[in-house]
């Protein structure tokens, strides 16, 4: 799932979402080298929520910049749709550059989403976050507490694997015909491949290649008119297709190949969609413990069902900005939420703080921590915050839900979305508005398709076409908005110490702090509820503040069950202060803003020496390392260090203009 991230680039701030392209460092295009198996264009459209509205995440499901972590469901199977091109609003028409500051005039500030307090009294300073996506590196922390690193590209030795030549011996045309045969997409019952250099070794490699790359097909050698052919055919009719991998997977090998995925400037779901296209498998055979941010370098563990390490390693020759390694065969897949958290390496460039200010800020982060707010990327980048949609769902105001998602708005949007919204406002014709969208899988496209199918009088069913997790994200965004607001109020009233009536967790159960055991707890133990029907509220003034806030939104805090079961909120508890672990930092001097300031896993694999810093330079950077548990936002830790509003609207006051 994708959240918006911000890059403060020398008075210029870049918004990143699934569809955007950073203007200052173009992402290298994935390319296919010879012999690489693919039948898809470079860019693969993800089934995750693409929208002008940033995708909100589930309340207890994120770590990182979303924040490295998001527990949205496993990658969904792609709908049977035609491939859609992204980028031009109409054929041959490019977007006009716009002033980014103008686009974001009506965006949200931290104040709009309840983010108002800091924990440390130190004086803030400015710095540039994510000037380069390589300035933000996320390493997953597995359930065993081990930080994932890509440090081994070798493939486990397996006698049953085909030789390396098997992956390159078939032409693109051969592969296309074989895939159509495998999937019963053509009328032929077999495919014949002529053996050009007729040797036993060559025939053996072709046999192995077909059986390895197209499970479910069998092969035989035939002689026709003096030429030899390898003939591929179905071994067991359509039954073979139901579970084709079982025909060729060694029984002694674990069913899942686990590997470490290193990726640059790509979120996890998009990355898995790319891998599945190149491997010609469905995305849902991949599993993972959490999704990672796009505008970053991320390293995480992935598992895939019955795809050999050899085939996966071959992708290293085909794809740029991806690297796969640390292969092993296991009996079980990975499960969402199994991770312990994420370790971050973050560079804040061109800092203005003195050494003393930096030390004060970092010591406070290390010893006290930061307020565990939901970050700005949870609430959207346009003038219509995602929590407003969530509130309308909870109010059963379905016409308002439709209007909020589809109406024209100010903010950073692609031209085709602007035209789609204008068409909707003018005609209220979903089919007509849908024609303006080259990308039909964004939330607007999904809703319009639903309205075309069910009509404007059945908005509930039309909205239901949007994948469930994405629909729930809107109401989770509303919960997050309430939680942020209440935590700010709690800190304003009672400060950074526990008080009687606060809540703490004993196991999974929330209990009240009583007067006589106040000394047994610290502020790091205190939790506050996300509103729902299965939580309790503090026994002090904040309880009434919750009630008043929901009442102002025409919601009853005592009745959070919805007439539609999916939208009933049970609630959850969240710690109000997070203290990062394994915190370290250094201030370095540099002259060239383009040079990397630390080595990545791939740099280390390639034997690159670490950067050497001069004692003085034109610029100073703060390099930070820290670990966070799941469901926390690294941007909020950085906010505490800089004392800087992380909202895009606030930062664009520094801007002149931003060109796409």
In the three-class reduction of DSSP (H, G, I as helix; E, B as strand; rest coil), residue 167 is classed as helix
Q: What is the pLDDT of residue 406?
A: 92
Calculate mean pLDDT across residues 75-95: 32
Share of the chain above pLDDT 70, in %: 77
In contact, 638 and 349? CB cutoff 8 Å: no
Sign of CA dihedral 279, 281, 287, 288: positive
pLDDT at 165: 63
Q: With both helix axes pointing from N to C terminus, report the angle between 386-394 and 398-406 in degrees, rounded to the nearest 10.
A: 170
For residue range 408-455, list pLDDT tens digits in order: 887 667 788 889 999 999 999 999 999 988 877 788 999 999 999 999
Q: Where in the sequence numbering do the catalytic residues fall? A: 293
Please state which CATH class domain 164-242 belongs to: alpha beta
3-state secondary structure 122-137: CCCCCCEECCCHHHEE
Q: Please check whether residue 595 is in contact with residue 611, taking contact to mean a CB–CB distance below 8 angstroms.
A: yes
Q: What are 527-570's pLDDT values in tens digits?
A: 999 999 999 999 999 999 999 999 999 999 999 999 998 899 89
Helix ranges (H only) for 3-123 are 100-103
On whether the CB atoms of residues 156 and 327 are closer than 8 A, the answer is yes
3.30.70.3160, 2.40.50.140, 3.40.50.300, 3.90.1150.10: CATH of 143-156+249-339: 3.30.70.3160
pLDDT reported for residue 650: 58
Name the nearest CA neighbour of 51 among 493, 474, 619: 474
Q: Which of 138, 239, 117 is nearest to 485 (CA)?
A: 117
**pLDDT tier for residue 118 given thresholds of 50, 70 and 90:** very high
Domain boundaries, the chain: 119-137+342-372+578-642, 143-156+249-339, 164-242, 393-470
Q: In terms of pTM, does the model score above 0.85?
A: no
pLDDT of residue 162: 61
Host H or E run for residue 286: strand 286-288
More confident residue, 259 or 591: 259
pLDDT 10s digits, 32-69: 333 343 333 222 222 333 343 434 344 433 343 444 44
Mean pLDDT of all residues belonging to the chain: 79
Q: What is the pLDDT of residue 380?
A: 79
Fold: same for 143-156+249-339 and 164-242 = no
Q: How confident is the model at residue 81 (pLDDT cuts 50, 70, 90)?
A: very low
The Cα 295–Cα 279 span in angstroms is 25
Number of neighbours of residue 57 by Cβ within 10 angstroms: 30
Poorest-pLDDT segment among 387-391, 624-628, 643-647: 643-647
Q: What does the pLDDT look like over 163-193, one tens digit per residue?
A: 666 667 788 788 888 877 777 766 677 888 8
Angstrom distance (rounded) from CA 353 to CA 585: 14
Helix pair 634-642, 355-367: axis angle to 10 deg: 140
Helix (H, G, I), strand (E, B) or coil at 256: strand
**Whether pLDDT at 153 is above 50:** yes
- Would you say residue 299 has pLDDT above 80? yes
Least confident of 154-158, 545-549, 625-629: 154-158
């Amino acid at each position: 799932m994708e959240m918006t991230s911000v890059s403060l680039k020398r008075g210029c701030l870049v918004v990143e979402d699934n569809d955007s392209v950073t203007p200052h460092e173009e992402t290298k295009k994935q390319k296919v080298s010879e012999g690489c198996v693919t039948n898809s264009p470079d860019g693969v459209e993800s089934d995750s929520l693409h929208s002008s509205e940033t995708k909100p995440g589930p309340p207890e499901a994120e770590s990182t910049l979303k924040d490295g972590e998001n527990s949205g469901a496993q990658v969904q199977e792609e709908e049977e749709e035609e491939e859609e091109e992204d980028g031009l609003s109409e054929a041959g028409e490019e977007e006009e550059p716009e002033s980014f500051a103008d686009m974001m005039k009506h965006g949200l500030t931290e104040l709009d989403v309840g983010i108002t307090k800091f924990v440390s009294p130190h004086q803030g300073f400015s710095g540039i976050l994510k000037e380069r996506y390589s300035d933000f590196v996320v390493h997953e922390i597995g359930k065993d507490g081990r930080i994932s690193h890509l440090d081994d590209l070798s493939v486990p030795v397996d006698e049953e694997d085909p030789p390396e030549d098997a992956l390159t011996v078939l032409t693109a045309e051969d592969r296309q015909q074989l895939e159509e045969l495998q999937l019963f997409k053509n009328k032929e019952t077999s495919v014949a491949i002529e053996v050009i250099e007729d040797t036993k070794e060559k025939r053996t490699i072709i046999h192995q290649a077909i059986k390895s790359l197209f499970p479910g097909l069998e092969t035989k050698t035939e002689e026709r008119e003096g030429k030899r052919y390898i003939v591929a055919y179905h071994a067991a009719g359509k039954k073979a297709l139901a579970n084709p991998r079982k025909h060729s997977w060694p029984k002694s090998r674990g069913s899942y190949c686990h590997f470490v995925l290193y990726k640059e400037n790509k979120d996890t779901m998009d990355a898995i969609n790319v891998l599945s296209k190149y491997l010609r498998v469905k995305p849902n055979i991949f599993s993972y413990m959490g999704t990672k941010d796009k505008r970053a370098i991320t390293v995480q563990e992935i598992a895939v069902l019955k795809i050999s390490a050899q085939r996966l390693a071959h992708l290293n020759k085909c794809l740029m900005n991806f690297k796969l390694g640390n292969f092993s065969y296991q009996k079980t897949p990975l499960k969402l939420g199994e991770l312990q958290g994420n370790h971050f390496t973050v560079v804040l460039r061109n800092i203005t703080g003195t050494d003393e200010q930096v030390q004060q800020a970092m010591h406070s982060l290390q010893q006290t921590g930061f307020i565990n707010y939901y970050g700005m990327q949870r609430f959207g980048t346009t003038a219509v915050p995602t929590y407003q949609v969530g509130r309308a769902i909870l109010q059963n105001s379905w016409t308002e839900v439709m209007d909020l998602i589809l109406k024209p708005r100010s903010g950073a949007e692609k031209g085709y979305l602007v035209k789609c919204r204008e068409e909707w406002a003018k005609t209220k014709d979903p089919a007509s508005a849908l024609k303006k969208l080259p990308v039909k899988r964004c939330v607007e496209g999904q809703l319009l398709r639903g309205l075309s199918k069910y009509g404007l009088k059945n908005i509930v069913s039309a909205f239901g076409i949007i994948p469930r997790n994405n629909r729930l994200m809107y109401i989770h965004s509303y919960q997050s908005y309430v939680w942020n607001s209440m935590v700010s109020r709690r800190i304003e009233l009672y400060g950074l110490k526990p008080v009687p009536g606060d809540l703490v967790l004993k196991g999974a159960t929330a209990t009240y702090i009583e007067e006589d055991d106040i000394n047994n707890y610290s502020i790091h133990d205190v939790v506050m509820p996300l509103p729902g029907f299965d939580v309790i509220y503090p026994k002090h003034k904040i309880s009434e503040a919750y009630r008043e806030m929901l009442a102002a939104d025409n919601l009853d805090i005592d009745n959070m069950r919805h007439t539609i079961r999916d939208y009933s909120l049970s609630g959850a508890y969240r710690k109000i202060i997070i203290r990062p672990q394994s915190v370290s930092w250094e201030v370095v001097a540099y002259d060239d803003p383009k040079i990397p300031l630390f080595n990545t896993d791939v740099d280390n694999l390639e034997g690159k020496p670490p950067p050497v810093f001069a004692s003085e330079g034109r610029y100073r950077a703060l390099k930070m390392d820290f670990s966070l548990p799941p469901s926390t936002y690294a941007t909020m830790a950085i906010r505490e260090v800089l004392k800087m509003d992380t909202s895009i609207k606030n930062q664009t006051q520094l801007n002149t203009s931003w060109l796409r």
